[in-house]
C-alpha cells in the first residue's frame, strides 16, 4: 500500500519528468543531465538542507532517495534488457574482439593506473586497490541512454562502447571478490587459496552457461506458446518473467543483475514478439532511468566535501583524462579508427554506478575512511554529471579527427574536370540510387557525404565521392558548384538538407535544386529556400502502398494509375 510519503516523491518525480526536464531539453540540455541536475537541487543535500528553516521545502524535495533505489535499479535492468533485444548472439560474437580486447585492456590498465595514483596520494594500501577497481568501470546507464537518444547505438561508436561496458559488467564478480579478500585480510583471516580464488569465477561461468541453455531450450518455446495465444498481456507477462528470472539468477550467482537482463534480451532478440516487447517496455525504461539519474544526483553532497573540493575537482579531471587516454590507446591497439577511438574514450571516461556499491562495501569493512569514502562518492557523482558534456565534446572531437583522417577524400583546390554536372549531397540509400541512374545515362556527377566510413568504401569502388559537409558553401565550391547543372539533396538530417539547398542557391542561383523531404512540412521549407523539385518520402511511400493495395483488390491497372496520379497531383499541389 502506498503511503503519503511515497506518493509525494512520485509526484515530485513526475513534475520533474513532465515539466522541468522538457525545459532543459528545449535549452538543448539532454534529459540525462536534466534529471541529474534535478537530483542535486531537489535532493536532501540541495534544497533539502533548508527544510529546518523553511518547513514547506519538505513538500518539494526528495528527503529520502533510498525509497526509490529499487525502481532506479529496475530502470537499469530494463535498459540492458532492451539493449539485449537489439543484439543477437551472432552479433555479440562478432564483437568479441572489442569485448575481450578493448574491454579487457581498458579495465586492466585503468585499474593499475588509478590504483597506483590512489596509493601514492592516499597512502593506505587497501584504498588504492579498491579505488582502482571501482573507478575503472564506467556508467552503463548514462552512456547507453545518451547513445539511444542520439540514435547511435548501432554505429561503430555505439558498438564499441557497448562491448567495453559488457566486459566491465563481467568484472562485477572479480571486483566484489577482491574487496572481500581485502576485508578478510584486514580482519586477520587467512588469505584465500587458489581454489577459493577460482571458485567464484567458476560459479559465475557455470551460471551464465546454465542460463543460456535454459533460455534456448525452455524460454523460447515458452514465449512462442504465449505468442500463439495472441494475448498481449500474456506475452508481456512471460517476457517480464524471463527478465526477472534471468536477473535474479545472475544476481544469486554473484554477477550483476543487469547482465542477466542483457542475456535475457539477447535470447529473445530473434523471437517473433521482440518488437512488441520493445514497444511496450520503452516508456517504462525512460521513466525508471529518470529515477536512477535523479538518485545519482541526490548522492552528491557538495557541502560535505567543500573542504576538499579542490582535490576532488582535480581528481575528477585526472580520472576523466587518465581513463580517456587509456581507452584511446586500447581502442587504437585493436584497430579502431582514430575518430571513433577518441569518441569512445571520452564517452566512457566517467566512473560508473557500480562504484557506489563498492565504496559502500569497502567503507563497511573499514577499507576506506569515512572522509575518503565521501570524497570518492563526490568524484564518481561529478564525473557522471559531466558525462553529457563529455559526450558532446566527444562528437565534436570525432568530427574534427574524421575530417583529418579523410583529408585524402576531401575535394582539392578545384575540380576543373567537372562542368555542367550534378552535385549530390549525401550518398546513402537514396543518393546511391540517384547516382546509379546518372551513371547509367552517362551524366557526370560528384557526391559529398559526411560519413567517413561510407566515403572510404565508395571511393574504393571508384565512385566520385568526397568527405565533407554538403551544407557549407565553400565545400560546394570545391566540387565545382559554380558550374553545376543541378544539385540533388538526399541528406537524412532535415536541418542539413535545408542548409545545402540554401548554399546551392547562393553559389549557383540558375541551377536546378531537387531535394528529398522527410514530410510535407519539411518539403514546404525546402521549396521556400529555392528547391524546384521536392519529393516528400512519406507522401510517395503512402502512394506506392495505396497503389499496391488497390492492385491486390483486382482494380484495373489504368484506374489505379489514374487514382494515384490524382492523389499525387493533389499532394504536390499543396506545396508552394
- Given a cut of 50, is residue 292 above it in pLDDT? yes
Burial class of residue 441 in the structure, from the number of CB atoms within 10 Å of its CB (0-12 exposed, 13-18 middle, 19+ buried): exposed
Cα separations in angstroms, 447 against 412, 436, 470: 14, 12, 9
With vertex at residue 54, the alpha carbon angle to CA 51 and CA 56, rounded to the nearest 5 degrees, is 85
* pLDDT for the residue 248: 83
**pTM (2 decimals)?**
0.62
| All three cell numbers of 417 | 574536370
* pLDDT for the residue 29: 61
By DSSP bridging, strand 533-536 and strand 512-517 are: parallel
CATH numbers and ranges of domains, the chain: 1-63 (no CATH), 64-403 (1.20.1530.20), 409-573 (3.40.50.720)
Q: What is the mean pLDDT of residues 288-293?
A: 74
The percentage of residues in the chain with a pLDDT greater than 90, rounded to a whole number, is 7
Contact 484, 500 (CB under 8 A): no
Question: Is the C-alpha dihedral spanning 253, 259, 261, 262 positive or negative?
Answer: negative
pLDDT digits (tens, 9 = 90+) for 147-170: 877 767 767 788 888 889 888 877
| List of residues 6+ apart from 44 with CB closer than 8 A | 61, 62, 63, 64, 65, 298
DSSP sequence for 48-97 = GGGTTT-GGGGGGS-S-GGGGHHHHHHHHHHHHHHHHHH--HHHHHHTHH
Phi/psi for 437 (5° steps) reads -65, -40
Phi-psi domain of 555 (left: phi exceeds 0; alpha: psi -120 through 50; beta: other): beta
C-beta neighbour count of 299 within 10 angstroms: 19
* pLDDT for the residue 328: 93
2 band by pLDDT with thresholds 50, 70 and 90: very low
- Given a cut of 90, is residue 545 above it in pLDDT? no
84 band by pLDDT with thresholds 50, 70 and 90: confident
Of 319, 227, 332, 218, give the one whose Cα is nearest residue 272: 227
* pLDDT for the residue 407: 52
Which helix (H) or strand (E) element contains residue 425?
Answer: strand 422-425
* pLDDT for the residue 184: 64
Q: Give SS3 for 471.
A: coil
- Given a cut of 70, is residue 450 above it in pLDDT? yes
Contact 61, 51 (CB under 8 A): yes
Amino acid at each position: 500500500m502506498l503511503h503519503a510519503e511515497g506518493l509525494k516523491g512520485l509526484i515530485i518525480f513526475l513534475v520533474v519528468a513532465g515539466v522541468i526536464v522538457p525545459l532543459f531539453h528545449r535549452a538543448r540540455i539532454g534529459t540525462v543531465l536534466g534529471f541529474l541536475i534535478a537530483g542535486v537541487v531537489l535532493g536532501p543535500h540541495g534544497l533539502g538542507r533548508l527544510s529546518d528553516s523553511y518547513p514547506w521545502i519538505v513538500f518539494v524535495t526528495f528527503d529520502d532517495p533510498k525509497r526509490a533505489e529499487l525502481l532506479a535499479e529496475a530502470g537499469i535492468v530494463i535498459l540492458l534488457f532492451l539493449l539485449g533485444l537489439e543484439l543477437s548472439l551472432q552479433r555479440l560474437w562478432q564483437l568479441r574482439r572489442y569485448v575481450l580486447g578493448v574491454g579487457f585492456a581498458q579495465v586492466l590498465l585503468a585499474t593499475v593506473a588509478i590504483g597506483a595514483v590512489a596509493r601514492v596520494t592516499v597512502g593506505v594500501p587497501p584504498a588504492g586497490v579498491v579505488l582502482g577497481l571501482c573507478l575503472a568501470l564506467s556508467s552503463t546507464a548514462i552512456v547507453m541512454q545518451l547513445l539511444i537518444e542520439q540514435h547511435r547505438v548501432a554505429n561503430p561508436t555505439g558498438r564499441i562502447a557497448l562491448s567495453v561496458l559488457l566486459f566491465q559488467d563481467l568484472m562485477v564478480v572479480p571486483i566484489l571478490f577482491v574487496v572481500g579478500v581485502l576485508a578478510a585480510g584486514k580482519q586477520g583471516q587467512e588469505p584465500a587459496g587458489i581454489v577459493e580464488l577460482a571458485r567464484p569465477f567458476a560459479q559465475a561461468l557455470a551460471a551464465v552457461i546454465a542460463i543460456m541453455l535454459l533460455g534456448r531450450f525452455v524460454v523460447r518455446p515458452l514465449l512462442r506458446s504465449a505468442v500463439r495465444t495472441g494475448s498481449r498481456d500474456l506475452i508481456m507477462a512471460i517476457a517480464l518473467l524471463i527478465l526477472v528470472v534471468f536477473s535474479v539468477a545472475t544476481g544469486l550467482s554473484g554477477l550483476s543483475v543487469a547482465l542477466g537482463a542483457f542475456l535475457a534480451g539477447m535470447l529473445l532478440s530473434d523471437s517473433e514478439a521482440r518488437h512488441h516487447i520493445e514497444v511496450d517496455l520503452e516508456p517504462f525504461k525512460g521513466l525508471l532511468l529518470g529515477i536512477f539519474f535523479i538518485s545519482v544526483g541526490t548522492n552528491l553532497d557538495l557541502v560535505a566535501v567543500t573542504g576538499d573540493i579542490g582535490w576532488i575537482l582535480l581528481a575528477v579531471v585526472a580520472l576523466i583524462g587518465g581513463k580517456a587516454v587509456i581507452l584511446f590507446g586500447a581502442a587504437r591497439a585493436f584497430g579502431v579508427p582514430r575518430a571513433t577511438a577518441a569518441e569512445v574514450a571520452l564517452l566512457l571516461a566517467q566512473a560508473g554506478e557500480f562504484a557506489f556499491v563498492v565504496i559502500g562495501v569497502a567503507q563497511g569493512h573499514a577499507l576506506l575512511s569515512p572522509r575518503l569514502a565521501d570524497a570518492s562518492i563526490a568524484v564518481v557523482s561529478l564525473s557522471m554529471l559531466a558525462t553529457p558534456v563529455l559526450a558532446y565534446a566527444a562528437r565534436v572531437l570525432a568530427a574534427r579527427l574524421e575530417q583529418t583522417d579523410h583529408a585524402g577524400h576531401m575535394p582539392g583546390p578545384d575540380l576543373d574536370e567537372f562542368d555542367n554536372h550534378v552535385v549530390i549531397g549525401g550518398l546513402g540509400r537514396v543518393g546511391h540510387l540517384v547516382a546509379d541512374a546518372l551513371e547509367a545515362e552517362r551524366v557526370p556527377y560528384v557526391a559529398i557525404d559526411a560519413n567517413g566510413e561510407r566515403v572510404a568504401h565508395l571511393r574504393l569502388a571508384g565512385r566520385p565521392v568526397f568527405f565533407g559537409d554538403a551544407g557549407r558553401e565553400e565545400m560546394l565550391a570545391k566540387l565545382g558548384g559554380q558550374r553545376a547543372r543541378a544539385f540533388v539533396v538526399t541528406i537524412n538530417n532535415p536541418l542539413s538538407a535545408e542548409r545545402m539547398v540554401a548554399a546551392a542557391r547562393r553559389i549557383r542561383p540558375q541551377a536546378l535544386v531537387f531535394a528529398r523531404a522527410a514530410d510535407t512540412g519539411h518539403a514546404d521549407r525546402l521549396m521556400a529556400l529555392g528547391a524546384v523539385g521536392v519529393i516528400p518520402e512519406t507522401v510517395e511511400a503512402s502512394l506506392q502502398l495505396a497503389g499496391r493495395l488497390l492492385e491486390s483488390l483486382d482494380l484495373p491497372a489504368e484506374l489505379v494509375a489514374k487514382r494515384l496520379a490524382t492523389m499525387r497531383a493533389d499532394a504536390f499541389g499543396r506545396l508552394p
